[in-house]
Amino acid sequence: MTRSGSSADVETIVDRPRGASTGETSGESTPPTRPPLDMDATVTSGASARARAAATLPTGPTTVPATGLEITEVIGVGGMGVVYKARQVGLGRQIAFKRLIDAPTDETRARFVREARLTAQLDHPNIVPVHLLDPGSDEAPSGYAMKLVEGKTLSTLISEAREQRALRKPLDEDHALDTRIEHFLKVCDAISFAHDRGIIHRDLKPGNVMIGAFGAVYVMDWGIARPIGSDAMTSSGARESASRSATEEADGELTRVGALIGSPQYMSPEQAQGKNAELDARSDQYSLGLLLHELVALTPANNAGTAAAALRAAERGERTPLDAIDGRPGKAPRVLRAIVARATALAPDARYRSVRALADDVRRFQRGDAVDALPEGPLARVLRFMSRHRRATLGTVIGVIVVAALTVMWTRYRQAANELATKTHGERLTALYGEVARQAHLIDTELHQLEEALEGLATAAEWALTSPEPSTADLPIYFDVDFADPVRRPADFTDKTAYRWPVSFDHMVVGMAPGTDRAALLPRIRRVLPLRDHMAQMMVAAAAGETTAVSPAEARALILARKGPIDYTYIDLPEGVHMQWPGMAALPPGYDVRTAGFYQISDHKRGKRWGAPYVDSTTDQSGDDLVLPITEGLWSPAGEFLGVAGVEITVTKMVETSMIMTGRSTLRTSLVDARGRRVIDSTDAGKRFVASGKDEAIEFTELDLPQIAAAIRKGAPGLREVVRNGRRIVVAFVRLESLGWYYVVEVDATTLGAK
């Protein structure tokens, strides 16, 4: 659940109406998202339930029988229960405990238990985990415990951004549109995960999204969630309905227990019309579209004055135009308006095929790519490319395509364009560049997977390193000396892998720098060992895809065959402890990870950082593969540096996989850095690089094509015809956004003319 502090910017998310009353929050005072609604009308039985709960709040610490919990303070009160801050005595950690209100109806109890069980089944980084269910004194579940999250709601963040804009202050990083959209994408990931498991939320709104420490995002309040395709029944047998009367007018964001199911201000038309049996993932998608609208404009899309008016607008699919961005007048970008319009289409069949498709379109918008919601013609594609590559818009490939119609716009490269226009194979040059650009995008996607995987690993590692030490009966510890000993090494240690050394799938290897106090560090090592399962899931997902179901045997086979983009994962402590998975017997004697370049780039630094490629000397002191690391510093909530998390890809493997141009005969493919220096090329396939015995970066050499190296130094991707050793070749080069390197492909010019 949420963790609520004493500061004014913290909001406790519970099953509660959001309106004029503040008795059900943790003291937060923020401007409303719109003018206050009529609160004089009578709401359903939730109001009396909240009054009864408030009257029975404890005044001091109490214990919950059969759970081992000690309640310390009240966080908030909602329509179905009271949320407490509690201490789990056995583990010594703080959690949130949600207890059912006194004298609940059968329907309220059933909904309460369903919320706990559904949430517990959704094991996702953006959904708060449920720890235990209190059986209650009469064996009817009366409460459940969950993770305590400190932060603020998305509603609060929107209000703060609106306040800053009203005061004419520049928005800080936490409130910037890009940050808000990143939060939105994490919400989409959580809802997509739930949809894949057959669950719809039905109450998505800013108040039900929590922004925790380190930018963690959690989708809350699954109280009215249900399986897709089921027509949920109340305890009396009556179906849930969106029917309402004039006496039910209250806050348009109200989540009611009874007649109205959901929040009218964020309902889909089909939900507002009471078609509960027909609701599916597209209903949640509609609510997400309204949420995206509000994140962009900082005002609600359904801005009706009362709950009844909001419900009528929702039934008709009415929303205010997206005529503001960051709270300022002026239309939002056309692409964003198209995305919101498609997600909130009146007919469900006209919306995106899934929430994942919606999120993919938003990510395309962020990258500046074409989106599915706004099909574009050839001219629009040219203009978008020009916008993203301003210094290269007069490049030779695009010049061939538009030289006749846009001559004035291509004056910077007119000479190059005219030269290509006179050649009969101009169209084939265009096709070549398009293929190279697509392949560069695939490489970029693979590198972005490493960034996303690292983000999840770093969050899990920070949580583990600040949590209580697990039981000594948990996973055994295998140090590098154990791996080196045939008697003490793990039982699953095998050399039947695609790695160049034997590995253990089931256990990490723990290396310690000389002079390290092993006994003092054992508690921290034990906290990290359970992350083995997270690392395995992360690497399998990168190899097989997020939505592909993989059996344990298939997962093991994928890792041992090195099918995915990730080759290594590790957690390093500042005392010189290196914990790597898969485990291997290849750490050299006296290995101190603190001297490695991949550790030093994130030592006491925040954020993800790509390191320079280095020769891996952990497997063989004389050298092995060329490895590309990305690492991130780990920090406690109190600001203490905890260590470094990292994932790595073998660059030499990229030469044999993602750098290959399928269907195209090439002379050479290369990776070149922004200074025009060669990193690696296809002639290095299968090569073992020579190392100095330390994990240190290699020295690059100047690309042997001076014209291409000079163009790359100017930051101008494109296509050139050059002569090398008396042979005419065509060279296409595209920038990789993740690294700032260039993907360079060389083709024999005569093959283009004969194709």
618-644: per-residue pLDDT in tens? 555 455 677 888 999 999 999 999 999
Q: How high is the pLDDT of residue 640? A: 95
C-alpha distances in Å from residue 113, one per residue of 15, 80, 348, 622: 13, 11, 30, 60
- b vs e for 476-508, b when ≥16 Cβ sit within 10 Å of the residue's Cβ? ebbbbbbbeeeeebbeebeeebebbebbbbbbb
264-305: per-residue pLDDT in tens? 999 999 999 988 878 999 999 999 999 999 999 899 999 887
Q: What is the mean predicted confidence (pLDDT) over 340-367?
A: 93
Q: How high is the pLDDT of residue 389? A: 56
Sequence-separated (6 or more) residues with CB below 8 Å from residue 358: 188, 285, 288, 289, 339, 342, 343, 352
Q: Residue 455's Cα: distance from chain center in Å?
A: 8
Residue with the bigger pLDDT between 60 and 445: it is 445
Sequence-separated (6 or more) residues with CB below 8 Å from residue 169: none
Q: Contact, 1 vs 98, CB < 8 A?
A: yes
Q: Is 725 left (phi over 0), alpha (psi -120 to 50) or beta?
A: left
In order, the DSSP letters of 21-68 are --TTSSS-----SSSPP---SPP-THHHHHHHHHHT--SS-EEETTTT
Percent of the chain with pLDDT over 90: 32
Q: How high is the pLDDT of residue 582? A: 93
Task: Examine the pLDDT at 52 and tell me if it is beyond 80.
Answer: no
For residue 748, which of 730, 724, 734 has the smallest C-alpha distance? 730
Radius of gyration, CA atoms only, the chain: 29
3-state secondary structure of 428: helix
How far is the C-alpha of 117 from the C-alpha of 489, rounded, in Å?
40
Percent of the chain with pLDDT over 70: 76
Q: How high is the pLDDT of residue 695? A: 55
Task: Examine the pLDDT at 680 and tell me if it is beyond 80.
Answer: yes
Task: Examine the pLDDT at 217 and tell me if it is beyond 50.
Answer: yes
C-alpha distances in Å from residue 33, one per residue of 295, 301, 329, 621, 714: 11, 10, 16, 62, 47
How far is the C-alpha of 44 from the C-alpha of 234, rounded, in Å?
15
Task: Examine the pLDDT at 215 and tell me if it is beyond 70.
Answer: yes
For residue 11, which of 206, 286, 232, 188 has the smallest C-alpha distance? 206
Q: What is the mean predicted confidence (pLDDT) over 536-548?
A: 81
Q: How high is the pLDDT of residue 49? A: 42
3-state secondary structure of 229: coil
Q: How high is the pLDDT of residue 620? A: 52
Task: Examine the pLDDT at 361 and tell me if it is beyond 70.
Answer: yes
Q: Contact, 718 vs 386, CB < 8 A?
A: no
Q: What is the mean predicted confidence (pLDDT) over 483-494?
A: 90
Around Cβ 618, how many Cβ atoms within 10 Å?
24
Task: Examine the pLDDT at 219 and tell me if it is beyond 90.
Answer: yes
- b vs e for 663-674, b when ≥16 Cβ sit within 10 Å of the residue's Cβ? ebebeebbbbbe
Which residues, in sequence order, are bridge partners of residue 325? 328
384-432: per-residue pLDDT in tens? 555 555 555 555 555 555 444 455 444 554 554 455 445 555 778 888 8
509-521: per-residue pLDDT in tens? 999 999 999 989 9
Q: How high is the pLDDT of residue 693? A: 52
pTM of the shown model = 0.46
Half-sphere exposure of 495 (CA within 13 A, CB side): 6
Q: Contact, 597 vs 612, CB < 8 A?
A: yes
Residue with the bigger pLDDT between 626 and 502: it is 502
How far is the C-alpha of 291 from the C-alpha of 60, rounded, in Å?
39
